[in-house]
Amino acid sequence: MMEESPVVEESTNAGQRARRRRPWIAAVLTFFLSGLGQVYAGRARRGALIFILSLTAATAFLLGWMRHPSFRFMALWLVVAASVKIGLMIDAAWVARAAPVPFSLKAYNRWYVYVAALLLADYFVFPLFKHTLIGNGFEAFRLPAGVASMEPSWMAGDYLMVAPLGRPPTRGQVVVYRTPYATLLKRVVALPGDTVAMSQGQLSVNGVNIAEPYVRPGDASAPDGLPMDSSDFYWQNRYLVAGVNAASYRPTLKTWGPVVLPDSNYFVLGDNRDVSMDSRQRGFVPASAILARPLFIYWSWDADNRSVRWARFGLTPR
């Protein structure tokens, strides 16, 4: 009988070790959902309070962001959120380590409760914030590789955060708008009622030549020809100013107009005029198709060199 005693003691210790709360599990759970690690460690009230406070802080950020969208605001929030998350993970690990041994499982200490909480957050709480942002016109866009129509201001591989306009666009403003075939980024150069034209690459609005420092210099030796079938320009005939003979009108990429914009329509051009498909070929952009304005670049990837363009982070190009 005396020889069996150590065996019983070893078995008891093994059972106690198996019923400990593991700090690393608590930290991982809190990483995925604030407060869940504390719940795992048997501190349900603490976990619920942390979750509610985290949700409140995220809501406050969302409201502040919608009122004052900026890269600095977002960057500050990311730093604060990361610091708080690390602190909460440390707290969860500490609470788990301090939990009594053997740990008495509560009714909520079940794997399916943790999974349900994670699924609820992943499929309801987080999408709610995303849909709130998108519903108010805030969204992220990416300029695909090979798209150079807005260089040098906006480059292929730039990831943009955009926001609602809030008011009608102005001349020179860059906008995001929807077409039947894609969502595009171009610059507004003429407003409803304006008369717009181009002569050998020089843009004029209402008879006044427009200085455009943001335009990428084209190839001066390139012929002023049509990039595609000339039928792309036929739409302009209906909007030519009085006195222009539509029968002899021969618009090109660099010389066209003058055309008069109808109500509630805008004329847009790409900054890289030699390669841009814009209002010259596609026609006016109705006000209802204009979605937003770009705020800033939050990520930029150079696909050709396979490198990050760190210098473009936070930029709000002209």
**pLDDT value for 224:** 58
Q: Are residues 164 and 283 in the same domain?
A: yes
pLDDT band, very low/low/confident/very high, at 10 (cuts 50, 70, 90)? very low
Look at residue 318 and tell me if it is in a domain: no
- Other beta carbons within 10 angstroms of residue 14's beta carbon come to 10
For residue 83, give the amino acid letter.
S
Q: For 49-60, what is each residue's pLDDT tens digit?
A: 999 998 888 888
Q: For 271-313, what is each residue's pLDDT tens digit?
A: 998 888 899 988 999 999 998 888 889 889 888 888 999 999 8
Under 8 Å between Cβ of 297 and 159: yes
Q: Are residues 61 and 85 in the same domain?
A: yes
The mean pLDDT value for 130-157 works out to 77
**Which domain-ending residue is among 118, 135, 152?**
135
Q: Are residues 93 and 128 in the same domain?
A: yes
Per-residue pLDDT for 15 more than 60?
no
Look at residue 145 and tell me if it is in a domain: yes
Domain count, the chain: 2
pTM of the model: 0.69
Nearest in space to 222 (alpha carbons), one of 270, 273, 265: 273
Per-residue pLDDT for 16 more than 60?
no
Look at residue 120 and tell me if it is in a domain: yes
Average pLDDT, the chain: 84
Q: Are residues 129 and 260 in the same domain?
A: no
**Which domain-ending residue is among 86, 105, 135?**
135
Look at residue 185 and tell me if it is in a domain: yes
Look at residue 317 and tell me if it is in a domain: no
Assign residue 254 the CATH number of its domain: 2.10.109.10
Look at residue 192 and tell me if it is in a domain: yes
- Strands (E) across the chain are located at 139-142, 158-163, 174-178, 183-190, 195-199, 202-205, 208-209, 256-260, 265-269, 285-286, 290-302, 307-308
Q: Which domain holds residue 129?
A: 2-135
The mean pLDDT value for 209-225 works out to 72
d(CA 167, CA 153): 23
Under 8 Å between Cβ of 203 and 194: no
Choose the weakest-confidence range: 209-223, 256-270, 272-286, 302-316. Answer: 209-223
**Which domain-ending residue is among 102, 135, 168?**
135
Share of the chain above pLDDT 90, in %: 40
Look at residue 17 and tell me if it is in a domain: yes
At residue 169, the 3 state secondary structure works out as coil
Give the helix/strand (H/E) hosting 127. Answer: helix 126-135
For residue 1, give the amino acid letter.
M
CA–centroid distance for 310 within its chain: 17
Q: Are residues 108 and 253 in the same domain?
A: no
**pLDDT value for 9:** 37
pLDDT band, very low/low/confident/very high, at 175 (cuts 50, 70, 90)? very high
d(CA 268, CA 98): 64
